Chain A
């Protein structure tokens, strides 16, 4: 399987390396033909999330009654979206860390986009737990530090685990992302002047490209990759424990950790496709992010979809097998109650639709890839909605069953969160080398015929 950019690879190595530098730096040079579209999109995103910010301000002022949440369903679209965005954040680490450690080199071209997506997705996800608080202005009470209030956090609460895990994940992902960028920043610095040079000088942290620097760089990168590989598993496991350690029927299940991790990777890969199928056109990096890369992502998606289907099946099986009437009632409700359309939509989007990727033609068709990635995103959001909302809506006490519907305010905030995500993603990916230059060149060297090695 060819896992290298064909057009570039065909060139003699020195030319290829120059070409890489030229192509990647072009994405920073305001010369992209579509820069109007780019700034239009950034502006639109800014506008949308500003509206959402106003809604949040109104919510803080007037109370959470503007949401559709009610007595049994105290968590709604906000927490659903939190889980969704945390899930999105997972493919970044998967591609950068796990595939790196496994030496799956095709990941190189996608790594920058995936990692950027990760950081931005965590930034988006991190808003929701604060946004949904009854008294959001006191969110810092969740941080354990000695303080004059004489208060401390309850470490037995999954919410504290959650805050810790997500915080750690953000810090480590950011370091990993930034570390990989240092040689690339240096390359940009060397080819720019004026205030841009001033900025990139600082971002490159004085990188000069000596052998010692490269050796330290490689060591640090591998170590961080190993560390972050653990986080891939841990973060979403802990997010799942927000639910699994509760006594709520439909949440209280030991399968939740692997099930959520699989779901997270699944949704993250789908979001990567959603972004990079148009992104490789926009940034003109089709030579680097080729259809082969996209096809590999699609293959991973099929695998994850099958794992997810297995999780669904085992969850349902054990709901029946363990004989708890409330757990059974919950599943009867999911499949036949008011939220049943979402339940079946989830199965359709996550278990059935991705099977289309078994066909090579579909995998290599960018339109199909894009469309199915959207389908999977929808399916994953609705899966989390069913888990969060349907379980709460139909708990032990029949007196307190209830039906939750997100209000227009919540939809606005959700749209705002998507806009916030795109806003930062576009801003970042448009101002850093969108493909890891150093690593791509490294790969060119590794795979080049020996005689091509420059003197």
Chain B
């Protein structure tokens, strides 16, 4: 028997014991394991480092955001002339490659069984020193370096280093070179270089297949410039861009007009345009000294004569020519990669230069003396020569530095065979690829966001790389390795390179330039400035060279029809993967291709007419065979090309089983010849290919269910307007009626304006949103089930504008679709638990913790922008390190959607309060608007009539998507200006 008192005592004591137990300190895990914290790491406060994006040779300036010592986001550096504060989809995804789970974590040495085994850095370096020492004994040029494009410190170091080793064999290898452009410059102007294009100054642009919005030269810079040109030319009845190419790339889809010549005859079209200008006597006065010379050079290429070879009627060519001269300054841009590279590539570039001369564009929109880094790229001939040397045993040690020639060179070049004959192959790659598969020693470099370095994409743009975070793995800067190895080989090599660290090497070279070495304070200040601003930028004057004799180089048979075989194959660069290098970044796999909207997959593009003839339907597995190889992939019907063209993007068919890129389709380069027939240049086309259906349909994951067009029962949501009516305001069709009192937004009403006339559909905003908002990557299977999580997507809507003879009107609209933050939101009223509600600043706030997952809000959202967490999505280590600590990671069973980057809104408000000022227009920039290379997205307060967004939203072109539903969105879209847009456009 127990007494009542006894019972209470016992309960009391045991209860408090249990409570005390709860209070006991749990072992603490230090989130920031610093004993003495560095100055620039404040928990919860972001630090930004200015550096340079090295995803491609464009070299855009980047600001890298780090939180608690981890890189979480890359944004453009506004002070940097390249990119002007914007990044493309690949630049946004660069952050993810830091945390690529496949990255090498230590140096690796291949053992006797051909398996990589970890090795320590000192052992690896002394091994390399021994191999190099032995190679030096073998004679000159026994060591070869194939690597990414370098300028500045690493350029100097590698050339000194190789010279000390007695080798001159250093090739800056990029998959996409600009050789025809360089050569045309040499022939026409005596300047062996890529010219500087200023698209924003052009009143009319003719692009002969150059993918300048995607991969060509400097896509972020060009996208911004093109968007500015479009905005200026908004009311021009002829539009801004004419594309001449057999297939529409993303750039082509953004064009106002499209001429589709027979593949290989683009140069004839350009020459015929030049002929028309000369014949009509409309050449610009500045071209007067050259008109006679040009007239004789282009004499055989009358528009009527080439019509048959080009499949373009003469009137269209004349019309384009007249327009080109009339809209001075205009700009003709020569061939891009998939666009027009073939055996007439040089002639095409020459013809473009002639057009630019005739229209008086030299020195206006196109200039020389730009000093592009890409001028230094190895030619295809250099690569072939080195390949032959390697194959014949002429190379003892091959060093591969951030290049993947085994994959990116067409297999017909024979590089894979040649590399297997090299006794010792060293790779500095950060992650496994086809070339490291054949390496003996891997010395993983830091990721470029963890590195010191510099890169000058063109003269006057000296751009600095600085580490934004400590290296994640046991990697070592290649510069440090080279210095260490040189110090180990011989006394001579040690003396040549010196004993220093790579960081000091960069710094000393940077400071040694401008400020005199004797003024240490100035040098230090200059260095600090460069660290803060991302480099040193100055304007460089363009050179206006005189035209030389081009007639001899122009020998094309005007009557020749391009050859044999029913189909020409085009290998096009991938907007997301470039040449395949970014294919392992899951954001880039999951965000759908901008044209086809295919995610996680490869495809072969076939024109619907050709497909019908061959009995192929969408998704059928087809095989394309050329003289050099064959590829297999699912067919995707694409009307944006000629029926005699087959196309496939590069970047698929990565052999290596890297987790996201691996085992995905075929490499389009398999079909390509080593060089164009009768020319030494690289070529991205193969003529005379065969196409056959080999298998049943395969699932191709298209995230856009249907490309809306006017043929549909319901009209496309992305609207267009004829340039002539761009200023005509349409009365609202449905006067708003409400049963409920309107929401009061006392202080702010956040809103957005998106200019569809500027948006190029490049997907940069989508990748930025993934990075900023911790959007889960759901993977191939879930994407196929329609469960992708993106908060913003780019919808492609195709309008039909009748073509005028050979001049087609692509009339595409790219519609960035995100939560419209409606004032009368259908989602809000149906949520039974107030998980989504209207906040006082006009946002449709989503409270994840309150959501029980009825999903009614998504059903009732006419825009379909809400995403549901069907499962618990994880982040494979170390990808989770990238997560933005300011944004909740959502759990399974809750709904999520765009928040207008509410964390940035709150952050800006907090910063303004701390600084003691009111919020200014532009203080808050959501991630999508921040990175938009076309500056199509404007965000701000709709209450402020002077804000940029208010002014943009009152544009006559403005409309709300589905405004007839009376949802009153906070996003105003501005119609795209499309010449010939029908007037009844709803």
Contacts and interface: CB of A to CB of B under 8 A. Distances in A.
Please determine whether chains A and B interact with each other in the same assembly: yes
A74 B713 contact: no
A74 B858 contact: yes
A400 B831 CA distance: 21
B855 A151 contact: no
A63 B871 contact: yes
Contacts of B29: none
B717 A65 contact: no
Interface stretch (B278-286, B507-515, B700-708): B700-708
B163 to A, nearest CB: 57
B715, B785, B962 pick with most chain A CB within 10 angstroms: B785
A338 to B, nearest CB: 11
A159 B714 contact: no
A333 to B, nearest CB: 8
Nearest to A135: B893
A38 interface: no
B872 A74 contact: no
B854 A71 contact: no
Contact of A74 (B795, B850, B859, B862): B859
A134 B855 contact: yes
A24 to B, nearest CB: 44
Contacts of B782: 65
Contacts of A242: 856
Interface in A55-78: 62-65, 68-72, 74-75
A33 to B, nearest CB: 48
Contacts of A154: 829, 831-834
A159 B706 contact: no
A139 B895 CA distance: 15
Interface string A202-231: 000000000000000000000000000000
A138 B852 contact: yes
Interface stretch (B454-462, B633-641, B786-794): B786-794
Interface string B805-841: 0000000000001000000001001111110000000
A54 interface: no
A399 B853 contact: no
A328 B965 CA distance: 16
B832 A157 contact: yes
Chain B residues touching A, majority SS? loop
Contacts of A40: none
B851 A247 contact: no
Given A135-B893, A329-B713, A402-B786, A64 B870 contact: yes
Contacts of A326: 714
B862 A135 contact: no
Contact of A397 (B787, B862, B872, B967): B862
Contact of B965 (A65, A129, A247, A332): A247
Contacts of B788: 71
A68 B703 CA distance: 16
In this complex, the interface size class of chain A, counting residues with CB under 8 Å from chain B, is: 35 or more
Contacts of B894: 134-135
Contacts of B895: 134
Given A134-B869, A135-B853, A397 B817 contact: yes
A282 interface: no
B698 interface: no
A153 interface: yes
Given A154-B831, A159-B832, A72 B852 contact: no
Interface in A157-171: 157-160, 163
A329 B712 contact: yes
B716 interface: yes
A136 B855 CA distance: 12
A246 B860 contact: yes
A448 to B, nearest CB: 54
A65, A163, A246, A248 pick with most chain B CB within 10 angstroms: A65
Interface string B685-709: 0000000000000000001111110
A154 B833 CA distance: 6
Nearest to A154: B834
B864 A159 contact: no
B832 A153 contact: yes
B793 A139 contact: no
Given A71-B864, A157-B830, A325-B713, A63 B892 contact: yes
Given A157-B831, A395-B862, A396-B717, A142 B852 contact: yes
Given A133-B853, A247-B965, A399 B860 contact: no
Contacts of A402: 705, 786
Given A63-B892, A153-B832, A398-B708, A247 B717 contact: no
A71 B705 CA distance: 11
A63 B860 contact: no
Interface of B: 703-708, 712-717, 782, 785-788, 793, 795, 817, 826, 829-834, 850-856, 858-860, 862-864, 867-872, 892-895, 962, 965, 967
Given A63-B893, A71-B788, A135-B894, 17 more contacts: A64-B853, A65-B870, A72-B786, A75-B855, A133-B893, A134-B869, A159-B854, A247-B862, A247-B965, A325-B714, A326-B714, A332-B713, A396-B717, A396-B863, A396-B864, A398-B705, A401-B706
22 contacts: A63-B869, A71-B786, A71-B787, A71-B864, A74-B868, A134-B852, A134-B855, A139-B852, A142-B832, A151-B834, A151-B850, A157-B829, A159-B832, A242-B856, A328-B713, A328-B714, A329-B712, A395-B862, A396-B714, A396-B717, A397-B717, A399-B793
Q: Which 6 A-B pairs have the closest CB atoms?
A: A134-B853, A134-B893, A70-B786, A329-B713, A400-B864, A63-B871
